[in-house]
């Protein structure tokens, strides 16, 4: 990917999601084990990227004279919602990816954890690229935007990323119990470019270095045109 696209590429890693793993026959361990697997995988990846003919005997992974003949120089960002992953990102990664949280939680919990992890490896919080995902449904008609945003409801099912949910039909049923109010508190349901701009500005003002948008708008072509005509020019100016 880097050979094709150059420095646009990053590698984002996290502790996984049951619906992506259980259907393939994999187990779904506890969050503690998944975090331990992630840490060991990170060690393996970094060694393969920086050394030749690597031997490694870990708890979960084993290498015997493994060698990559094309070595990337790709930044590694860790994704998470809480202080443990934020601290790990500060210690071991180039960046941290998260989603919308109350500003107080970000400033008082996540960012201090990043700083603590960075200090433990001789760095500062400024060395860690902080990224936030904004999930948006846009349409001039609020009801259309809200109807499309309901596709995100399963992601708000309590403890959805830790419980062994492996059937999308089950998650769709559980998502029906998620209220419109819960959706609008977690995601942006907007009817104007100003709605998007305000949320993006808030993210930058909170201390994030980069914002990326995941759209579930009912008309994606219209949303993309609106971004090109309104949002990007605003931030370029």
Helix (H, G, I), strand (E, B) or coil at 45: helix
The predicted pLDDT at position 77 comes to 98
CA angle 196, 199, 203 (to 5 degrees): 135
**Average pLDDT of the chain to the nearest whole number:** 94
**pLDDT of 69-90, one tens digit each?**
998 999 999 999 999 999 999 9
Domains delineated in the chain = 1-127 (3.20.20.30), 133-237 (no CATH)
Give percent of the chain above pLDDT 90.
91
Output the six-digit token pair for 189: 């349901």
Query: What's the whole-number mean pLDDT along residues 189-214?
Result: 94
Query: What's the whole-number mean pLDDT along residues 12-31?
Result: 93
SS (H, E, C) 98-164: EECCCHHHHHHHHHHHHHHHHHHCCCCHHHCEEEEEEEEEECCCHHHHHHHHHHHHHHHCCCCCCCC
Contact (CB, 8 A) for 28 and 18: yes
The predicted pLDDT at position 209 comes to 96
Residue 18, φ and ψ in degrees, nearest 5: -55, -40
**pLDDT of 107-147, one tens digit each?**
999 999 999 999 999 999 999 999 999 999 999 999 999 99
The predicted pLDDT at position 213 comes to 93
The predicted pLDDT at position 202 comes to 92
Query: What's the whole-number mean pLDDT along residues 200-225?
Result: 95
């Amino acid at each position: 990917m880097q050979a094709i696209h150059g420095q646009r590429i990053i590698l984002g890693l996290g502790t996984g999601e049951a619906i992506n793993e259980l259907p393939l026959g994999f187990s779904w361990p506890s969050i503690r084990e998944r975090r331990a697997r992630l840490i060991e995988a990170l060690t393996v990846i970094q060694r393969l990227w920086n050394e030749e003919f690597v031997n490694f005997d870990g708890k979960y992974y084993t290498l015997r004279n493994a060698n990559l003949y094309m070595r990337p120089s790709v930044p590694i960002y860790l994704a998470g919602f809480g202080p443990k992953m934020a601290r790990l990102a500060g210690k071991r990664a180039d960046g941290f990816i998260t989603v919308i949280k109350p500003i107080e939680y970000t400033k008082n919990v996540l960012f201090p954890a990043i700083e603590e992890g960075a200090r433990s490896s001789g760095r500062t919080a400024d060395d860690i690229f902080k990224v936030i995902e904004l999930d948006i449904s846009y349409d001039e008609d609020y009801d259309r935007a809200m109807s499309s945003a309901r596709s995100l409801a399963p992601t708000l099912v309590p403890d959805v990323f830790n419980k062994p949910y492996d059937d999308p039909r089950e998650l769709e049923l559980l998502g029906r119990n998620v209220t419109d109010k819960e959706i609008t508190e977690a995601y942006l349901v907007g009817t104007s470019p100003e709605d998007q701009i305000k949320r993006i500005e808030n993210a930058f003002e909170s201390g994030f270095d980069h914002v990326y948008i995941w759209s579930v708008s009912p008309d994606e072509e219209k949303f993309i045109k609106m971004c090109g005509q309104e949002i990007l020019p605003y931030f370029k100016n």
